[in-house]
Amino acid sequence: MINKYVSKKPSLRRQWMLMLSAVFISLYVIVSFSMVSYIKKFYYDNEYSRSVQLSDKLTALFENNELTFTKQELTTFFEQEQQMSIPLSFYFKTEGIDIRLIDDKDRVVYETMPMPYMLFHKKDLNSVSTIKHKQIDGITVIKPIYSRQTNTLKGYIQLLFSLQNYHQRVREIHQTYFYVTIIAIVLCLLVANALAYLFFRPIKHMTEVMALIKKDALSKQRMQLSKRRKDELMELSLGFNELLDTMDLYINQQKQFVEDVSHELRTPVAIVEGHLKLLNRWGKNDPAVLEESLHASLLEINRMKTLVQEMLDLSRAEQVSIHYADDLTEVSGVIEQVHQNFQIIYPDFTFTLDNDIHSETKEIWVGIARHHFEQILIILLDNAVKYSTTQKLIHLSISNTIANVQITVQDFGEGIDTENINKIFGRFYRVDKARSRHKGGNGLGLSIAKELIEGYRGNISVESVVGNGSIFRIEFPIITDYAKIVQEKRKVKQSQLMN
């Protein structure tokens, strides 16, 4: 259903490409149109300035020449002028100038070509204007001509400067602009496509990784991270990889959980099955056999219940960094309480406690849930009791450095040899399985403790000598954020009031 819906829609990359193309093309059109308008205005201003300058020169020419503005004299003047090396008519033609001379009675006495469309008005003297008539397009200038000797008005000169060259340049500009625009649009599309590809490449890679993981949930494929990129996409890639790692961890935990439970339940199930088959064949008629089989079966069932609960605790311990990230616990109070509880539970044991915390308030706070901290202490103390021999002494101590707090649990029992000391934190591992089964437990206690400690960014270590006992040390970073500590104290008080 989703694939059908998505297939009808253009891809996000294509949408971005089209949007970027529209933006780039719009910017190009705005900038290029402004440039073309400026160039056209620049050329027109040049034509305008040229018209004014040439009109001043021609006016000065006729003022310096003592001609009378009559048709005969002006005709003679221009006929004689044709004999010059560069006649004025040639100059007028090359410069695109048409001239009309008018006497002081407002009569046209000479013009290079008939110009009925160009009217003469004295109100337009010394002004510059434009004229458009059919195929004629130009700038007109009207100026009075005075005699230099008598300073009397001789007549007027009316000039028409053709804008043909200007329009030819404008057409060339438009033609060039058209071709450049086509090239610019193609470049905008290519650049927009390239940018969209670069921008969405991590997302495309993400979809490919998701497709691989969909086929194989245990795939180790991850997003490729670039050291040069430090942007939101980099953060998205990091978050995606962390999500995949978390999913992979959960899947492996679930797989490990199923395998471990299946392995450990096989023995008690086989024992219960064996007793039930025995009773089914003939043992039900023998009261002694019946009682023994029921007793053994109940023991194994209780063992299975304990095993399942411990496996659940272990599975939850692997996720404490997610569910209990903000929990805090005061170390001394919890240790003293657990120490007192064990003194009551095991009166034949001697439990000592040394509190060497260097603090004004004797309070040290660590980032761990209280019930998990208690569970760790109970596991370590319970193991110390189980594996003690004749010397029933358990020693607890607390100390701190600037950054960490250390808790030590020491017993004087059996000890662990060097061959097994690195294996004791493994699931279901027991140094002596026969004796461990007799003492109780499934070999999960230290695994749970280790997972909890490491989940809260602590560490656990062990020293042991066979026949002399073992020392377990755990360390946690000390919380120094006073605001968090005050908030936790308020939370504890509220909880106590509610209870």
184-216 tens-digit pLDDT:
999 988 988 888 887 777 777 777 777 777 777
Listing DSSP states for 251-275 in one string gives HHHHHHHHHHHHHHHHHHHHHHHHH
Instruction: Give me the pLDDT at residue 196, please.
Output: 82
Residue 86 above 70 pLDDT? no
Radius of gyration of the chain (CA): 51
* More confident of the two residues 416 and 408: 408
Res 375 pLDDT > 90: no
The pLDDT value recorded for residue 435 is 46
* Arithmetic mean of pLDDT, 262-272: 71
Domains, the chain, with CATH or none: 13-171 (3.30.450.20), 232-317 (1.10.287.130), 323-498 (3.30.565.10)
pTM of the model as a whole? 0.48
pLDDT tens digits along 18-38? 888 889 889 988 999 999 999
Query: Which residue would you say has higher pLDDT here, 53 or 237?
Result: 53
Of 247, 243, 254, whose CA–CA distance to 316 is shortest? 254
| Most confident by average pLDDT, 188-192, 225-229, 405-409 | 405-409
Higher pLDDT, 24 or 119: 24
Residue 398 pLDDT: 93
Centroid of chain to Cα 326: 26
Q: Quote the pLDDT of residue 4.
A: 47
> pLDDT at residue 101 above 90?
no
Specify the pLDDT at position 99: 83
Question: Is pLDDT above 70 for 2?
Answer: no
Distance CA 196, CA 16 (A): 6
pLDDT (tens digit per residue) in 350-367? 999 998 886 665 688 998
Q: In what order do the strands lie in the sheet with 404-411?
A: 350-356, 393-400, 404-411, 469-477, 459-465
CA-to-CA distance for 93 and 112, rounded, in angstroms?
A: 10
Per-residue pLDDT tens digits for 430-485: 655 444 444 555 667 788 888 889 888 899 999 999 989 999 999 999 988 888 88
% of the chain with per-residue pLDDT over 90 = 14
Mean pLDDT of 108-125: 75
pLDDT at 406: 94
pLDDT(3) > 60: no
Burial of residue 358 (CB within 10 Å: 0-12, 13-18, 19+) is exposed
Can you tell me the mean pLDDT for 411-431?
A: 80
Rounded to whole angstroms, the Cα distance separating 491 from 499 reads 12
**Average pLDDT of the chain?**
79
pLDDT above 90 (res 138): no
Res. 162: pLDDT tops 60:
yes
Least confidently predicted of 255-259, 336-340, 422-426, 437-441: 437-441
Say if residue 123's pLDDT is above 80: no
The pLDDT value recorded for residue 475 is: 95
Which two tokens mark 44?
Answer: 């027109």
Tokens linked to 240: 């995606």
pLDDT of residue 161: 83
> What are the beta bridge partners of residue 103?
155
| pLDDT for position 64 | 79
Report the range of poorest mean pLDDT among 174-188, 231-245, 356-370: 231-245
For residue range 286-310, what is the model confidence (pLDDT) as tens digits? 777 778 878 877 877 877 777 677 6
d(CA 382, CA 444): 12
* 311-330 pLDDT, tens digit each: 676 666 666 766 777 788 99
What per-residue confidence (pLDDT) applies to 200? Answer: 76
- pLDDT confidence tier of residue 335, bands split at 50, 70 and 90: very high
What's the confidence (pLDDT) of residue 252?
Answer: 74
Angstrom distance (rounded) from CA 130 to CA 288? 131
Give the list of residues 6+ apart from residue 484 with CB closer than 8 angstroms, or none: 326, 328
Q: What are phi and psi of 490, to 5 degrees?
A: -60, -40
What DSSP element (H or E) covers 336? helix 331-345
Residue 464 β-bridge partners:
470
Interatomic CA distance for residues 413 and 340, integer angstroms? 21
Strand partners, 351: 394
CA atoms of 480 and 489, how far apart (whole Å): 14
> Average pLDDT of 397-417?
91
Instruction: Please say whether the beta carbons of 367 and 487 come within 8 A.
Output: no
